[in-house]
Amino acid sequence: MGLDLGDINIKRFADGEIYVQLRESVRGCDVFLVQPTCPAANENIMELLVMIDACRRASAKTVTAVIPYFGYARADRKTQGRESIAAKLVANVITVAGADRVLACDLHSGQSQGYFDIPVNHIHGQPVILDYLASKTISVEDLVVVSPDVGGVARARAFAKKLSDAPLAIVDKRRHGHNVAEVMNLIGDVKGKVAVMVDDMIDTAGTISKGAALLHQEGAREVYACCTHAVFSPPAIERLSSGLFQEVIVTNTVPVSEENIFPQLTILSVANLLGEAIWRVHDDYAGTYEHISGLGID
């Protein structure tokens, strides 16, 4: 965007409390706070809330929370009795802190937008990955897009449609606990194909690595993993670098530390995507991203 970052002082007190001071005036300005609520999620969420409050008290015209990765997004419904819906709680506190709008990238479920009582622009990171895959010149006849679970079918179908309407396969899994997945069977044909597994995030990589093993058993020639959010909780790196994947393609919505870099990993930038979204919000420009065929913003 050709702009300098705003000057802000953020520090921790001895007891861990967060201190925020804006070092320049934001009076009458549209402020965009870029803050992924990735690990450490609790600390980053609290930091975002304090920054929003500081901007509001400094008479900013509007405050937009730009959240490349929205923490607690998976806690979007009750799966058992007496559970919290933490995604709704986080949406509430962001609103109460004083945010006027949220810009989020690839929410775990699109309906999470409804948890906010303020406007939400939902940005999709898939176009960045699609552009990269197009540069690899994989033959459409050799390609099959794979959803690692039934819940991701809509995402995988949209992805396949943008890849010249490539065929779709689905890995059927049964989850027996948090961060534990068991692959059961494959719906679709991957024999002799280049399988591209698509998901919104990779956390411990249990789902996607077991899915990749199944794809190889079913005769897939190569397996690619594509996701927007590289959370990479242990033992993700061990699983992803085990030789199951030809390439693991992610974006930089979540910072990846140096020790988590491995040869098969490719990290793509969503900076241009976020920058254009910020410009459109600031300029009150409706429209769609023509260069990414409408997959850019909801």
Residues 145 and 113 in one domain: no
Question: Is 138 a member of any domain?
Answer: yes
Mean pLDDT across 52-58: 98
Mean pLDDT score of the chain: 92
Q: Would the pLDDT of 297 be above 70?
A: no
Question: Is 181 a member of any domain?
Answer: yes
Question: Is 2 a member of any domain?
Answer: no
Residues 27 and 156 in one domain: no
- How many Cα atoms are found within 13 Å in the side-chain-facing hemisphere of 208? 34
Mean pLDDT across 19-23: 98
Question: Is 194 a member of any domain?
Answer: yes
Instruction: State pTM to two decimals.
Output: 0.90
Residues 134 and 118 in one domain: no
Question: Is 102 a member of any domain?
Answer: yes
Residues 78 and 22 in one domain: yes
Of 27-41, 182-196, 257-271, 281-295, which range is least confident?
Answer: 281-295
Q: 245-260, pLDDT tens digit by residue?
A: 999 999 999 999 999 9
Q: What angle do CA 281, 71, 243 make, to 5 degrees?
A: 110
Sign of the alpha-carbon dihedral angle for 160, 166, 170, 171: negative
Residues 133 and 262 in one domain: yes
C-alpha distances in Å from residue 298, one per residue of 40, 126, 280: 28, 13, 13
Residues in contact with 67: Cβ distance below 8 Å, sequence separation at least 6, in sequence order? 35, 36, 37, 48, 102, 103, 104, 105
Question: Is 250 a member of any domain?
Answer: yes
Residues 144 and 61 in one domain: no
Q: What is the CATH number of the domain that holds 243?
A: 3.40.50.2020
Residue where the block lists tokens 């077991």:
210
> CA-to-CA distance for 58 and 60, rounded, in angstroms?
6
- Is 278 in contact with 66 (CB distance < 8 Å)? yes
Reduced 3-state DSSP string for 8-66 = EEEEECCCCCEEEEECCCCECCEEEEECCCCCCHHHHHHHHHHHHHHHHHCCECEEEEE
Residue 171 domain boundaries: 126-269
Residues 120 and 175 in one domain: no
Mean pLDDT across 48-52: 98
Number of domains in the chain: 2
Query: pLDDT value at position 290?
Result: 40
